[in-house]
Structure 1
Amino acid sequence: MDHGMNFPGGGNDPFLWLEDIHGEPATAWVDQENRLTDQAFRGAAYEADVATALTILNAQDKIPFVGRVGDHLYNLWQDESHKRGLWRRTTLDSYRTDQPDWDVLIDLDALGAAEARPWAFGGAVLSPDRTRALVRLSPDGSDAAETREFDLGIRRFVEGGFLIPESKGQASWQDADTLLVSAAIGAANITRAGYGRTVRRWRRGDPLETAETIFSVEEQDVAAWFYVQHRPGHQYVSFTRMIDFTRTETFIERRGQARMRLDLPEEISLSIYARRLLVQPKRDWAVDGAIIPAGALAAFDLAQFIDGSRAFDIVFAPTPTRALQQWVETRHGVVLDILDQVRSRVALARPEGGTWVETPMAGLADNAAISIAPLGGEDDPDLGTDIILTTMAFDRPPTLSLWTGAGAPAVLKQAPHRFDAKGIEVRQQHATAQDGTQIPYFLVGRDLGSTTPRPTLLSGYGGFEIAVTPAYPSLAGKLWLERGHLLAVANIRGGGEFGARWHQAARRATKHVSHDDFASVARHLAETGVTTPARLAARGGSNGGLLVGNMLTRYPELFGAIWCEVPLLDMARYTRLLAGQSWIAEYGDPDDLAEWAFIRDFSPYHLVREDRSYPPTLITTNRTDDRVHPGHARKMVARLKQAGAPVRLRETVAGGHSGAVDSATIAATTALGFSFLRHTIAAERTG
């Protein structure tokens, strides 16, 4: 019995009323469900886990991660005394010391108390002369934010300065008295996905509503974005028409020249640091009789490209196991962050004798995840010299290192262990998918050779070409691995672990492939004796929430519990809820009946049946999430309860989509999840 939920659009949806985010009937229902969840999972063990998690999250010896602009390194610091954080800065020389001298710019907790609003820091953009900043302040961590002009010298917001009301979008400086703004304010400036549709040039003293529109996109597009580069000798403004999450059109306006569209494929990543145009196509690109393979990185001379030349060099060539994740152009060459069998490799690529040669960066960890980012250099006409690297692994906490162009990177900061990693092993295993493809996954824990099945938590994502790489599980390590249980992390199709083709194998009509891959990993864990279905849980959030929602409804026999976080679940209405319109390229359009025919097959809300048994399920969401609507979680819980399934809901009211607005929220949500696992797959067995 389907209760009439066979059709897109929600016309026959009996739980449509739960989409009213702040409506009294809906919130009263949520409050009651929250009480039931608390009664089920909160207790002495839960409270102890919250305290343990808070100790880790608020530790004074954690790494203060930084970004450099001009002479300063900027950081947002949160701890027990500064729950929303301190926005502060220091110098590189001071940062190298054990106790850097921090200059506090904004105390977010004090600001929130003074204005009676729980502000969260949403980032800042500094003016070209570094005297002012555009500071984004988000209410409770939502994507929409208010933007205010801040004076860095006197550490105050500028009275009568630039002020952009709460909205999704971006703003940046064209000069000291002129901003470029893409803000979802006013019907003419909002796409259906809820982002800015126009870019406006706003001059100081003028009302924002009178600002000149200088670029616009279609209402059905995702957004109009832009980037302002102030690098001496290489100044330009680029404009991006974001058609969907995979397709873009890019326009460039160099100083003294007319704006022009770059003749590029729609599915690409690109960068322009100075003289080179670096392009990574997502599909094979035919250029003047040659082919730039999907996932390769090609270098063009920007000026010559604009003049019509299509001469290029291949900086990086992918292989079936090697994929380029990111790159940074420096004075020394292009630094490449490569995944090889889901392990990070960092190399410096430089032109030598008419070809580009990769030189591995020395002194880096093996079997780890390494991310790279430029550290300053935006004012240097010849490009910057410094790269900051963040390295971590399942059994090793993060290390922050600085590379200046020669030799091995120098360690700047290293976090201490947050759990006892003695005896922890990491193995990369492979499951065979339904079509024979080998799907890698990591297995983490002690005594992996044991023949005794143990509670295992399997997580994954499988979407938007996002690679899931080894990460240090500080909380899961303490609350799960230390207790002798296991973690498994699946690298399923739909992600970016092996480049664009890995992603394209699980999009739209083939989206179900990522879910089938995950089920193959679950089977492999049971077949190899690592665990049993009764002792295996699936965990995923956002697109990963859709993933584990499909485990619940399509493969319930493979799992003993489902932990589903901030999920998409109603794929008939996802395009009508908040930012959902922007994800059609990934999932398809449910209002197109031909596409709804395949979407329905991976829409968990529509797959619940009353004649089927389901494992215990915990679904979490956030009332302030303005990206994935909390109605997905609410309605799924109601539907499962109607079908007699064992399900609990936890809806918080702060934190936005990430739920990371403060340590207390993270600790409480995480501890609840592990309490749920203790009551299900990790419950003590007797008899």
Structure 2
Amino acid sequence: MNARSNPALGAGDEFVWLEEIEGARAVDWVAAQNARTHGALCDAAYAADFDAALKILNADDRIPFVSKSGDYLYNFWKDEAHPRGLWRRTTLDSYRSDKPDWELLLDIDALNEREGISWAFAGAARSPDKSRALVSLSFNGTDAVELREFDLATKRFVDDGFKIPQAKTRADWLDGDTILFGSALTDDDSTAAGYARLVRKWRRGTPLEQAEVVFEVEKNDVAAWFGVNHRPTHESVAYWRALDFTRAQIFVEPQHGAFAGQRLQLDLPEQVSISLEASDLFVSPKQDWSVDGKTIAAGALAVIARDRFLEGARDFEIVFQPTPTRSLQSWSETRHGVVLQILDDVRGRLELATRRNDGWTTRALPDLPDNASIDAQTFGGEEEPALGRDLLLTITGFDRPTTTALWSGDGAPQPLKRAPASFDATGIEVVQRHALAADGTRIPYFLIGKNLAAGGAPRPTILYGYGGFEVSLTPAYMAVVGKLWLEQGHVYALANIRGGGEFGPSWHLASRKATKHIAHDDFAAVARDLAASGVTTAQKLACHGGSNGGLLVGNMLTRYPELFGAVWCSVPLLDMARYTKLLAGQSWIAEYGDPEDPEEWAFIQKYSPYHLASAEQNYPPIFITTNRTDDRVHPGHARKMAARLSALGQPVWFDETVAGGHSGAVDNTKQAQSQALGFAFLRSTICKG
């Protein structure tokens, strides 16, 4: 492929100048587009929606979600008085009370005022003795962070402590005076995708530039990842050579046992998930794996003693076997057994798997709701040789305010916190339906609205989807959507299209690269079903998606415009010719394909909305949003698509915020503005008439 025919070089792209994130011409264009959008949409109804959304997001009686480390529960909290948030901690006994006694560790707003920088909190890693932490600070929500050592007793950053300048960085402690880190500080430190290529060991008191390289990958790999296990008698370090977004070579370096001090590559498929918390190796392959004369099915969970595996044994035991409707989403190793987080026809289930003499057996955790999403996370216990005993459960549903509970292995989970109801759910019904894809596959979707069984006239409806990277869309409490949309009598639908992980790895693999369009076709099938069943009409139906979901709804605009009355497209990928040249795009080639490969560009261009847009087609109105500090999906995608549609005379609205990163969640005010603008757009389109 020569320079003139290489689509990734952007030859003939009249709007490539909009990729200059801080370019004067581009910034002026953004300001003009924002002013036009705000002038049209920011009316009294928008103001009321903004106030209602912000009230929900800042509510004092929200659940303060926590993680446990040592004796403390850690929480990060944002509210009206602290828009950038407070990092704080408390004890479990105090947390159980209605008004926990929080110990303030770090006030991000106060830090920003002192330093004159718009930091956002991006997490912290506690040292093995829990006396210090490696705090990550993000500028306005970027993925790139500045890392600083923090003393938890004095509540101050350590003047001469570990500090790494802003970059895409991952770090953890080896001991109180040594850390491992991977940081994309320079071009040599970085992969072509912009992630860390090297993992270094840095000892206290030595210069950063002298940190020892202990693991490295190739320039064209996605990244070098690592994980440190501090569990006493099971200490180890694992390294991942991420070949692409789905494939990796995994190495383990145990500190105990027959292989202590050795770094060994695990003889596993490249597409696999593992855990190695204690003496067992748990493996879940993404494709069927033939080993030791038997086949471990894609999405199954198998186990073997780690040292026996390293010695050459391959007699895995099966812990979980998937079915066409039951898939394993994740698992947690506990001293009681392995807790399996399962989706059963997109409904959450938790089961405890325990080993017996005749194999593994499972039982459901007691007293959990049948029709909800249930998430399980280990709750402390990282310092216990025999594994931790506690799990923190988060239970939620579309019309069910979120609750949390603690399960310690015996009896029913013990309730911890309950979120307030944010909207009036009177008459709200949740039903699961199925649309029929072109190849006969049943595509499930959830429908949420008032008095659905009663039927009636078609109603304004939002159809939401994602369809990529094995991400599962599951029920979750619709706090803001419920208040601003469902309370009005409108309808919301969530589609579980292929490309996601709702039915295991095969559901994802059905929509990758040359078959990526299948996710988009599935979504269109759901849109048709909504209209055919009388829930809505094309004129009253809007689709909404963000990131990969932005690519999804961009394809609804350009490939299926007749099915929708409006498109809400957030932080999207849209120019699939240049996506690999923009920020983290190269890391997604395994999902979409390589536009610089002529054979792959042949199918990529068929789902590249930026290239499909045509003056010969009438499109529904589209609202495209992005964020200037998004260093994952380049804002140029959204900018250029809006400019191209405008040049073609198509109805397009655009809004770009200047803080928030890819999630747009650095403060609640920005989130409330984004939601209120989106619903204002829908009022002006599918709710009219």
Question: Are 1:65 and 2:65 matched, yes or no?
Answer: yes
Aligned to 2:609: 604
Aligned ranges 1:10-409 → 2 under 5 Å: 10-255=10-255, 256-409=260-413
Is 2:7–2:595's contact at 8 Å kept on the other side of the alignment?
no
- Aligned ranges for residues 570-581 of structure 1 at < 5 Å? 570-581=575-586
| 2:555 matches 1:564 | no
Counterparts of 2:317 and 2:612 in 1: how far apart (Å)? 49
* Displacement of 1:40: 1.1
Percent identity of equivalent pairs: 60
Alignment check: 8 A CA contact 2:511 2:518 kept: yes
Q: CA deviation at 1:110?
A: 0.2
**Aligned with 1:546 (options 547, 551, 573):** 551
Moved over 6 A (4+): none
Structure 2, unaligned runs of 5 or more: none
- Residue number in structure 2 paired with 1:533: 538
Structure 1 unmatched runs, 5+: none
Corresponding position of 2:431:
427
Shift of 1:353: 3.0
Structure 2 partner of 1:416? 420
- Which of 473, 489, 492 in structure 1 is aligned with 2:497? 492
Please give the per-residue CA displacement for 1:437-459, whole angstroms capped at 9, x wherever unaligned: 00000000011131310000000
Matching of residue 479 in structure 1 with residue 484 in structure 2: yes
> How far, CA to CA, are the matches of 1:5 and 1:366 in structure 2?
55
* Residues 21 and 27 in structure 2, CA contact (< 8 A), matched pair in contact too: yes
Q: 2: CA distance between counterparts of 1:587 and 1:408?
A: 44
Q: Is contact 1:179-1:201 (8 Å) kept?
A: yes
In the alignment, structure 1 residue 638 sits paired with structure 2 residue 638: no
Aligned partner letter, 1:664: T
Q: What amino acid sits opposite 1:453 in the alignment?
A: P
How many angstroms apart in 1 are the aligned matches of 2:473 and 2:356?
A: 33
The structure-2 alpha-carbon separation of the partners of 1:217 and 1:652, relative to structure 1 and needing over 3 Å to count, comes to same
Match of 1:501 among 502, 506, 523: 506
Find the residue that maps to 1:188 and give its secondary structure: coil
Q: Name the aligned partner's letter for residue 188 of structure 2.
A: A
Deviation digits for residues 628-670 of structure 1 (CA, Å, limit 9, x no counterpart): 0000000000110111110010000000000000000000000
In 2, Cα distance between equivalents of 1:169 and 1:438: 42
Q: State the distance in 2 between where 1:538 and 1:250 align.
A: 39
Map 1:448-463; keep pairs closer than 5 Å: 448-449=452-453, 450-463=455-468
SS in structure 1 opposite 2:179?
strand
Deviation at 1:609, TM superposition (A): 0.6
TM-score by length of 1: 0.98
Residue identity in the other structure for 1:106: L
How many residues were matched structurally?
A: 681
Task: Report if aligned partners of 2:379, 2:391 keep a CA contact under 8 Å in 1.
Answer: yes
Q: Cα distance, 1:111 vs. partner?
A: 0.3
Specify the alignment match of 1:651 in structure 2: 656
Which region of structure 1 is more displaced relative to structure 2, 580-589 or 350-359?
350-359
**Alpha-carbon separation, structure 1, partners of 2:360 and 2:456:** 49
Match in the other structure for 1:620: 625
CA shift at 1:7, angstroms? 3.5
Aligned position for 1:583: 588
Please report how far the alpha carbon of residue 252 of structure 1 lies from its aligned counterpart in structure 2 after TM superposition: 0.6
Alignment of 1:523 with 2:512, yes or no, is: no
| Cα pair 1:5 1:606 within 8 Å, conserved | no
Which residue is equivalent to 1:470? 475
- 1:680 aligned to 2:689? no
Structure 1 position 326, deviation (Å): 0.7
Answer yes or no: is the 8 Å Cα contact 2:392–2:407 preserved in 1.
yes
User: How far apart are 1:247 and its partner, in Å?
Assistant: 0.3
Match for 1:184: what amino acid? A
1:429 alignment partner, SS class: strand
Q: Is residue 2:519 matched to residue 1:514? A: yes
Deviation at 1:6, TM superposition (A): 9.6
Confirm or deny: 8 A CA contact 2:8 2:581 kept in the other structure.
no
Kept in 2, the 8 Å contact 1:424–1:445? The answer is yes
Say if 2:329 and 2:342, in contact at 8 Å, map to a contact too. yes
User: For 1:8 and 1:252, how far apart are their aligned partners in 2?
Assistant: 38
Q: CA deviation at 1:169?
A: 2.1
Q: Which amino acid aligns with 1:490?
A: A
Aligned equivalents of 2:462, 2:671: Cα separation in 1: 19
CA contact (8 A) 1:79 1:85 kept: yes
SS of the residue corresponding to residue 521 of structure 1 reads helix
Report the CA distance between 1:407 and its aligned residue.
1.1
1:204-254: per-residue Cα shift (whole Å, max 9, x none)?
121111111010001111110111111110000111111111101110111
Provide the C-alpha distance between the structure 1 equivalents of 2:564 and 2:148, rounded to a whole number of angstroms. 48
Deviations 1:255-297 (A, max 9, x none): 1321010101000011011011000000000111110000000
Query: Is contact 2:6-2:596 (8 Å) kept?
Result: no
Distance 1:6 1:133, change over 3 A: closer
Whether contact under 8 Å (1:5, 1:13) holds in the other structure is: no
Q: Secondary structure at the match of 1:280?
A: strand
Mapped partners of 2:349, 2:229: distance in 1:
29
CA contact (8 A) 1:34 1:649 kept: yes
Counterpart CA distance in 1 for 2:7 and 2:193 is: 22
> 1:397 is aligned with what amino acid?
P
Tell me the amino acid that sits aligned with residue 355 of structure 2: P
Structure 1 position 354, deviation (Å):
2.0
Paired residue secondary structure (2:368)? coil
Deviation at 1:8, TM superposition (A): 3.8
Paired AA for residue 487 in structure 1: Y
The equivalent residue for 2:676 is 671
Q: What's the CA shift for 1:11? A: 1.2
Deviation (angstroms), 1:318: 0.0
Per-residue CA deviation, residues 62-118 of structure 1 (Å, 9 max, x unaligned), is 000000011100000100001010000001111111111100000000000100011
CA distance in 1, matches of 2:177, 2:232: 19
Q: Secondary structure at the match of 2:9?
A: coil
Shift, 1:352, TM fit: 2.0
1:585 partner SS? helix
Q: CA deviation at 1:5?
A: 10
Structure 1 contact 237–252 (Cα < 8 Å) conserved: yes
**TM-score by structure 2 length?**
0.98
2:7–2:578 contact (8 Å) kept in structure 1? no
Q: Alignment RMSD, CA only?
A: 0.9
Match of 1:437 among 437, 441, 454: 441
* Contact 2:444–2:496, Cα closer than 8 Å, also in 1: yes
2:642–2:654 CA contact under 8 A, matched in 1: yes
